[in-house]
Amino acid sequence: MRRRSDLGAKLISAPYVVWDILFIVAPLIFVVYYSFTTKSGDFTFDNITQLSRFIPTFIRSIWFGIEATLICLVIAFPTAYIISQRTDRIQRTMVLLVMLPMWTSFLIRTYSWMLILDNNGIINSVLTSLNQAPVRLLGSNAVVLGMVYNFLPYMILPIYSVMAKLDYSMVEAAQDLGGNRATVIKRCIIPMSMPGVVSGITMVFVPSVSTFYISQKLGGGIDLIGDVIERQFQLTQNYNLGASISLVLMVLILVSMAVMNKFSDEGEMVL
């Protein structure tokens, strides 16, 4: 009987294992292979040594990702808390409103911001009609704005999903012991919400660092590392260099996530 149950479990999990191998493990193997080979397939470190000229782009991408993630966190945490304090019906409505922009294509949402902020966009058209000089709005701030707008739901939803399931008896106990609202949020709400915060930071930081379409449409000529990778694959067709950049970016993201998880664990222990 136990053998049958084990066989059934293996059969059920087989599609997921195949999916992971085809779309996670295999691509990673190809990335590593191309990173350390030439176009002819010979082993080399040249692709890695060439990455030094992209260090400013790496730094810019990581900095933009950090900015967008922090802004999303500042907006998302109180938003998720407010939603979690409402009745079930209102919560469903507010969550639907948060998710509503995600029903529209990512490309269309970003292109819409370009139409608003472009030199000939809506804002500058209004300024021109009022006999005011047009303002250059595309650039680094516009890129961060595009990241925040597109990835904010990915910060709100994980935090809300944790807050909605919190044990508020601890909050009531803290209030009974004389804790004010700020103390309760600092000592109870924030520590108990850390799993959602960490998940939200991960879901925002990773696509922010690796994005390329937002910078292409809103950057006004600003390059992020995602743009460099896209050019290596689409224009120059230098798959080896593109794979090596992707590999380093992946390692940097993994290291950042490991550091963040370490600090979050230490913070929970202190609290």
In the chain, which ranges are continuous DSSP H helix? 2-20, 26-35, 46-49, 55-84, 88-99, 106-117, 122-129, 140-163, 169-176, 181-184, 190-210, 213-218, 225-234, 239-270
219, 147 contact by CB (below 8 A) = no
The amino acid at 80: A
Give dist(CA 263, CA 259) in Å, integer: 6
- How many domains does the chain contain in total? 1
Neighbours of 78 (CB within 10 A): 11
Tell whether the torsion through CA atoms of 165, 181, 75 and 87 is positive or negative.
positive
Considering the domain boundaries, does residue 142 fall inside one? yes
Considering the domain boundaries, does residue 141 fall inside one? yes
Q: CATH number of the domain at 188, please.
A: 1.10.3720.10
Tokens of 233: 């694959």
Considering the domain boundaries, does residue 209 fall inside one? yes
Considering the domain boundaries, does residue 218 fall inside one? yes
Considering the domain boundaries, does residue 62 fall inside one? yes
Considering the domain boundaries, does residue 9 fall inside one? no
pTM confidence score: 0.86
Considering the domain boundaries, does residue 40 fall inside one? no
| Domain membership of residue 106 as a residue range | 53-270
Helix, coil or strand: residue 99: helix
Considering the domain boundaries, does residue 86 fall inside one? yes
Q: What is the pLDDT along the chain (271 residues), one digit of tens a residue?
A: 556 666 666 677 778 888 888 888 898 899 999 999 988 889 999 999 998 899 999 999 999 999 999 999 999 999 999 999 888 899 999 999 999 988 888 999 999 999 999 988 899 999 999 888 888 899 999 999 999 999 999 999 999 999 988 877 777 777 777 767 777 777 788 888 888 998 899 899 999 999 999 999 999 888 999 999 999 988 888 999 999 999 998 888 888 778 777 755 554 543 4
